[in-house]
């Protein structure tokens, strides 16, 4: 079986003019959901501020609980063996990923495509499938972890993911 796709979501410093990430949430190839706060790079805060956001993330929380760019990039390099990630808002997520990599003078090793692309390739209308499940709230209004959970659930409901194989990997 092919590994699961990587779905990714992010919270930016601003909804109007996103310049740097505050939080990334992504699925892994084994169906887990990971979420990490990002410690802001000094240069980011020199030019831009952190505006109020739906997750109520502020600068103090990021410094207290966040991870440096190099730690996140190291984790992605070892765990995310992919050249494509899928996002609800690919343009914004791509900007945030590029800015994270840019702190270390690197370029991302993957591209970010619209989530609809992955579902369309599998003949599933994502929005119709969510409505069939009773999910009326637009994905963009859900928290990042709820977005990822919703996407994985739709994929599983349409037999695009075989989650039973993942359970077999656990020790008895």
Residue 81 pLDDT greater than 90, yes or no: no
* Lowest mean pLDDT segment, chosen from 7-16, 47-56, 109-118: 47-56
Helix, strand, coil % (nearest 5) of the chain? 40, 15, 40
By the 8 A CB rule, do 163 and 156 touch? yes
Angle at 85 between CA 158 and CA 70, to 5 degrees: 140
Residue 37 pLDDT greater than 90, yes or no: yes
160 vs 124, which has greater pLDDT? 124
Residue 164 pLDDT greater than 70, yes or no: no
By the 8 A CB rule, do 69 and 100 touch? yes
Q: Please, which pLDDT band fits residue 172 given cuts at 50, 70 and 90?
A: very low
Spatial distance between the Cα atoms of 51 and 165, rounded to a whole number of angstroms: 42
CATH number of 7-115, picked from 3.40.50.880, 3.30.70.2740, 3.30.420.10, 3.40.640.10? 3.30.420.10
Write down the domain spans for the chain: 7-115
Global pTM reads 0.89
84 vs 169, which has greater pLDDT? 84
The 10s digit of each residue's pLDDT in 128-148 is 999 998 899 999 999 999 999
Q: Please, which pLDDT band fits residue 8 given cuts at 50, 70 and 90?
A: very high
Q: Output the average pLDDT for the chain.
A: 90
Burial of 123: CB neighbours in 10 Å, binned 0-12, 13-18, 19+: exposed
Q: What percent of the chain has pLDDT over 90?
A: 74
Q: What is the mean pLDDT of residues 16-39?
A: 94
């Amino acid at each position: 079986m092919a590994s699961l796709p990587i779905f990714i979501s992010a919270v930016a410093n601003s909804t109007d003019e996103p310049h740097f990430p505050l939080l990334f949430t992504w699925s892994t190839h084994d169906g887990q959901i990971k979420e990490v706060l990002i410690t802001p790079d000094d240069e980011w805060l020199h030019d831009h501020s952190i505006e109020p956001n739906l997750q109520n993330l502020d600068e103090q929380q990021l410094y207290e609980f966040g991870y440096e760019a190099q730690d996140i990039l190291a984790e992605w390099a070892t765990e995310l063996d992919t050249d494509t990630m899928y996002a609800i808002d690919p343009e914004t997520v791509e900007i945030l990923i590029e800015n994270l990599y840019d702190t270390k003078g690197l370029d991302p090793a993957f591209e970010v495509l619209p989530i609809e692309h992955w579902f369309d390739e599998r003949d599933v209308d994502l929005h119709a499938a969510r409505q069939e499940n009773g999910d009326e709230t637009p994905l963009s209004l859900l928290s990042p972890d709820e977005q990822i959970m919703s996407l994985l659930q739709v994929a599983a409901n349409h037999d695009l993911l075989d989650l039973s194989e993942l359970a077999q990997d656990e020790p008895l």
